[in-house]
Structure 1
Amino acid sequence: MADARTYTIIYVVLLALGTGKFLFFMDASPLTYQMALAGTFVLAVAKTLLISGYYMHLLEEPRSVTYMMVTALFMVLLLTIAAGYSIQ
């Protein structure tokens, strides 16, 4: 199990990533909307990996649990894509 120092560092990194997502869409940002959106997705994935790895303790679990979680995520993405396709 990680110590308080590790959790504090992860918290500060998550705070910085959240601030970065906000700064992408500021009026003074040189990024286009598509670039800001892509950057937001990348930062969201990084935040998700940090949260699931450290706060949900998936790094300490057996690999089978991690594979099960990745499979569940893949299935949710497939369902989301199918729902989006059926709406159009």
Structure 2
Amino acid sequence: MARLKLYTGIFVVLMALSTTQAVVERTGMVDFDAPGTYWTAFGLILVLSFVKAAFVATYYMHLRWEPRSVTYLFLGGLFAALALTTAAAYSIL
């Protein structure tokens, strides 16, 4: 029963963060003409996305209860994927 309460709480947090992201986009914070508002909204959405990904990886992928070596293996794979994505983005230019 404790896990059900935990997962329900995490779900509510994820829904609140997703709603916040949608509100940031829909309220006009993402205005390409106004200086600074685009990058502020972009940064806010990026931070919210990182927090959501951390919650999903920690609780729904059960990395919180796994040995640290599994977590480090996951983070190594994530770093490699980000490095390859960055390299691919620069090779297009």
TM-score (norm 1): 0.92
Question: What residue in structure 2 maps to residue 12 of structure 1?
Answer: 12
Question: What residue in structure 1 maps to residue 68 of structure 2?
Answer: 63
2:85 & 2:69 partners in 1: Cα distance?
24
2:29–2:38 contact (8 Å) kept in structure 1: no
Amino acid at match of 1:69: F
Q: Which runs of 5+ in 2 are unaligned?
A: 31-35
1:1-88 equivalent positions in 2, closer than 5 A: 3-29=3-29, 32-88=37-93
2:17–2:48 contact (8 Å) kept in structure 1: yes
2:47 & 2:79 partners in 1: Cα distance?
17
Q: Which runs of 5+ in 1 are unaligned?
A: none
Alignment root-mean-square deviation, CA: 1.7
Amino acid at match of 2:16: A
TM-score (norm 2): 0.87
3-state SS of 1:34 partner: helix
1:5 & 1:76 partners in 2: Cα distance?
33
CA positional deviation for 1:73: 0.5
Give the number of equivalent residue pairs. Answer: 87
3-state SS of 2:64 partner: helix
